[in-house]
């Protein structure tokens, strides 16, 4: 089947041909004709199956007839992350360049003023994350009562990130007569309830669950100690053992580990930068651009880069942590070995992560072989063993001095026997020598007469006469 058989307009087909696509993927072949007919679609498909083009191409075709009004978008696409929203916006620019459609991207980390200007002019396609869209709605900058097509993408990720209440709030603002396109990788009960509430007699389009890795990816396993510094040493050993690294993505399960690992790699001379959801949007976009253009060699990321991001030429993927969900492993290593290229994926596993590793092997039906990093690891251990320890400098005491130095300090005209009594006398006063030692205890520095009371040191206020009453 070709794109010409799906019923797309000539302008859209020309853009698809210029982009280099000839045959539609299974989800595109099933979804595009139904979207063109105006029917609701429930799509079950993993990221990377081509579902973005499955809804963007027919939307461009349908929206090419009509005109946008100020602050009233004609279509709305909801995405869970800023990166996915930006990527969908790029797809609209590629496929819709032959159609005069306006588009706005509402994501966090960008100035409200710039987004307000686009909304005031009117947009045909509005791509947004739920939080930023609701901010604009509450400020009165956008009205959703003109939305004709609603797309909810990556619904299961929306559930994981806590966006389901926001989506319900947004859907209440959209006309009931809209066309809804609902896409999710899995269908837990909460997502099924949403689809039943939002969709009317939908066409179910399901693509087989992605559970296999590409044959062009060579996957290896590396065992490590459970302490963080041991895992970082193992990662550096892996990187040094590979002489064909063009670039690489290093995945961590936690955002704090992303920052720590990126700083550690920089300290050891590697070109690395972090990417996670807590960073400013401008920093995230600049980091991604540097990695795509080849100015950055290693991208240390959370799972925000595992799904949906299209970075075509990645030579290596490193799992610093074993993903807790087996499907995430398939998404992570799917960033390499694309378009028939050879790719390499290394996973660092501790003893506590063996259960996650077993789940991955059960899903992919493949055993991950151990990597041979013996020579590099030995070199690092030898370097540690031969590294000289820092010695604390201390001033030598008199007891540590040589006997010859001690003798040199004594006056020349005195013998050692004469010098010794002199040192002893210097510690005692003349009165001590004259007083005999008391019986039963050593001699003390006291007068012959015992002191009664305060002696000569009576305070003046005690010597004042006491008045008679």
The residue with greater pLDDT, 436 or 81, is 81
Q: Nearest 5°: CA angle at 28, between 23 and 33?
A: 110
Report the distance separating Cα 469 and Cα 466, nearest Å: 9
Question: How confident is the model at residue 206, as a pLDDT?
Answer: 86
Percentages (nearest 5) of helix, strand, coil residues in the chain? 45, 15, 45
Closest residue by Cα to residue 171 from 201, 145, 189? 145
Task: Look up residue 145 and give its DSSP letter.
Answer: T
Q: What is the mean pLDDT of residues 180-203?
A: 88
Closest residue by Cα to residue 5 from 19, 24, 18? 24
Domains within the chain, CATH numbers bracketed: 3-206 (3.40.50.300), 217-385 (3.40.50.300)
Q: Is 245 exposed, middle or buried (0-12, 13-18, 19+ CB in 10 A)?
A: middle
The residue with greater pLDDT, 130 or 184, is 130
The mean pLDDT of the chain is: 82
For the stretch 338-357, what's the b/e string if a residue is b when 16 or more beta carbons lie within 10 angstroms of its beta carbon? beeeebbbbbbbbeebeebb
Task: Judge whether residue 422 has pLDDT over 80.
Answer: no
Q: What is the mean pLDDT of residues 65-75?
A: 89
Report the distance separating Cα 43 and Cα 27, nearest Å: 8
Report the distance separating Cα 329 and Cα 186, nearest Å: 16
Given its phi and psi angles, is residue 189 left (phi above 0), alpha (psi -120 to 50 degrees) or beta?
Answer: alpha
> pLDDT tens digit string along 107-135?
987 889 999 999 999 999 999 999 999 99
Q: Is 216 exposed, middle or buried (0-12, 13-18, 19+ CB in 10 A)?
A: middle
> pLDDT tens digit string along 199-228?
999 999 988 665 667 778 899 999 999 999
Question: How confident is the model at residue 11, as a pLDDT?
Answer: 94
Least confident range from 61-65, 119-123, 132-136, 310-314: namely 310-314
The encoded tokens of residue 134 equal 């609701």
SS3 218: strand
SS3 414: coil
The pTM of the whole model exceeds 0.85: no
Closest residue by Cα to residue 148 from 225, 68, 220, 90? 68
**Count of C-beta atoms within a 10 Å radius of residue 203:** 16
Give the long-range contacts of residues 223-227, CB within 8 A, separation 24 or more: 223/348, 223/349, 223/350, 223/370, 224/348, 224/349, 224/350, 225/350, 226/350, 226/351, 226/352
SS3 126: strand
HSE, side-chain direction, 13 A CA sphere, residue 84: 25
Q: Which ranges of 275-371 would DSSP assign to H, the alpha helix?
A: 281-292, 326-333, 354-364
Question: How confident is the model at residue 429, as a pLDDT?
Answer: 46
Q: What is the mean pLDDT of residues 98-103?
A: 91
Closest residue by Cα to residue 230 from 119, 334, 377? 377
The encoded tokens of residue 431 equal 């009165």
The encoded tokens of residue 231 equal 């895992």
Query: What separation, in Å, do the N-terminal and C-terminal C-alpha atoms of the chain show?
Result: 126
Question: How confident is the model at residue 81, as a pLDDT?
Answer: 87
**Residues in the chain, total:** 469
Q: Order across the sheet with 103-106: list the strands.
A: 103-106, 125-128, 75-78, 149-152, 179-184, 41-44, 203-206
* C-alpha distance from residue 456 to each of 114, 179, 465 (Å): 90, 108, 18
> pLDDT tens digit string along 374-416?
544 444 444 454 455 555 555 555 544 444 444 444 444 444 4
Name the helix (H) or strand (E) containing 404.
helix 403-409
Q: Which residues pair with 43 in a beta bridge?
A: 183, 205
SS3 347: strand
The encoded tokens of residue 12 equal 């859209």
Report the distance separating Cα 206 and Cα 101, nearest Å: 30
> pLDDT tens digit string along 359-368?
999 988 889 9
Task: Judge whether residue 426 has pLDDT over 60.
Answer: no
Q: Which ranges of 42-124 would DSSP assign to H, the alpha helix?
A: 51-63, 82-95, 112-121
Task: Judge whether residue 424 has pLDDT over 50.
Answer: no
Percent of the chain with pLDDT over 90: 49
- Quickly state the pLDDT bin for 47 (edges 50, 70, 90): low
For the stretch 172-194, what's the b/e string if a residue is b when 16 or more beta carbons lie within 10 angstroms of its beta carbon? eebeeebbbbbbbbeeeeebeeb
Question: How confident is the model at residue 152, as a pLDDT?
Answer: 95
> pLDDT tens digit string along 128-158?
999 999 999 999 999 999 999 999 998 888 8
> pLDDT tens digit string along 250-304?
999 998 899 999 999 999 999 999 998 788 878 888 998 899 889 999 999 988 7
């Amino acid at each position: 089947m070709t794109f010409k058989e799906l019923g797309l307009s000539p302008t859209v087909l020309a853009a698809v041909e210029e982009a280099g696509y000839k045959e539609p993927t299974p989800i595109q072949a099933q979804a595009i004709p139904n979207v063109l007919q105006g029917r609701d679609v429930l799509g079950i498909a993993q990221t990377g199956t081509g579902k973005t083009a499955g809804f963007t191409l027919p939307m461009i075709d349908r929206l090419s007839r009509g005109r946008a009004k100020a602050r009233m978008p004609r279509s709305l696409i909801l995405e869970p992350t800023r990166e996915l929203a930006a990527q969908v916006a790029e797809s609209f620019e590629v496929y819709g360049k032959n159609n005069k459609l306006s588009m706005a991207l509402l994501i966090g980390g960008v100035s409200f003023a710039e987004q307000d200007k686009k909304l005031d002019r009117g947009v045909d396609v509005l791509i947004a994350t739920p939080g930023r869209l609701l901010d604009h709605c509450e400020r009165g900058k956008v009205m959703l009562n003109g939305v004709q097509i609603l797309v909810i993408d990556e619904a299961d990720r929306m559930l994981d990130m806590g966006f389901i209440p926001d989506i319900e709030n947004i859907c209440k603002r959209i006309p009931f007569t809209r066309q809804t396109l609902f896409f999710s990788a899995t269908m837990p009960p909460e997502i099924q309830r949403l689809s039943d509430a939002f969709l009317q007699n939908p066409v179910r389009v399901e693509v087989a669950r992605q559970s296999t890795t590409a044959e062009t990816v060579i996957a290896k396993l590396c065992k490590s100690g459970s302490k963080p510094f041991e895992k970082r040493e193992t990662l550096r050993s892996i990187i040094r053992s590979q002489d064909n690294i063009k670039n690489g993505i290093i995945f961590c399960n936690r955002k704090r580990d992303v920052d720590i690992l990126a700083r550690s790699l920089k300290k050891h001379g590697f070109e690395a930068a972090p990417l996670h959801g807590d960073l400013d949007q401008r920093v995230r976009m600049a980091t991604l651009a540097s990695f795509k253009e080849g100015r950055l060699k290693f991208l240390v990321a959370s799972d925000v880069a595992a799904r949906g991001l299209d970075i075509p030429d990645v030579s290596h993927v490193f799992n610093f942590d074993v993903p807790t969900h087996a499907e995430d492993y398939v998404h992570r290593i799917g960033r390499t070995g694309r378009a028939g290229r050879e790719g390499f994926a290394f996973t660092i596993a501790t003893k506590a992560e063996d259960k996650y590793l077993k789940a991955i092997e059960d899903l992919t039906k493949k055993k991950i072989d151990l990597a041979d990093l013996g020579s590099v690891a030995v070199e690092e251990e030898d370097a540690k063993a031969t590294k000289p320890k820092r010695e604390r400098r201390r001033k030598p005491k008199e007891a540590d001095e040589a006997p010859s130095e001690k003798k040199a300090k004594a006056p020349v005209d005195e013998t050692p026997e004469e010098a010794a009594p002199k040192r002893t006398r210097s510690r005692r006063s003349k009165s001590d020598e004259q007083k005999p030692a008391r019986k039963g205890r050593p001699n003390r520095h006291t007068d012959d007469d015992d002191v009664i009371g305060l002696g000569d040191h009576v305070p003046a206020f005690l010597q004042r006469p006491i008045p008679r009453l």
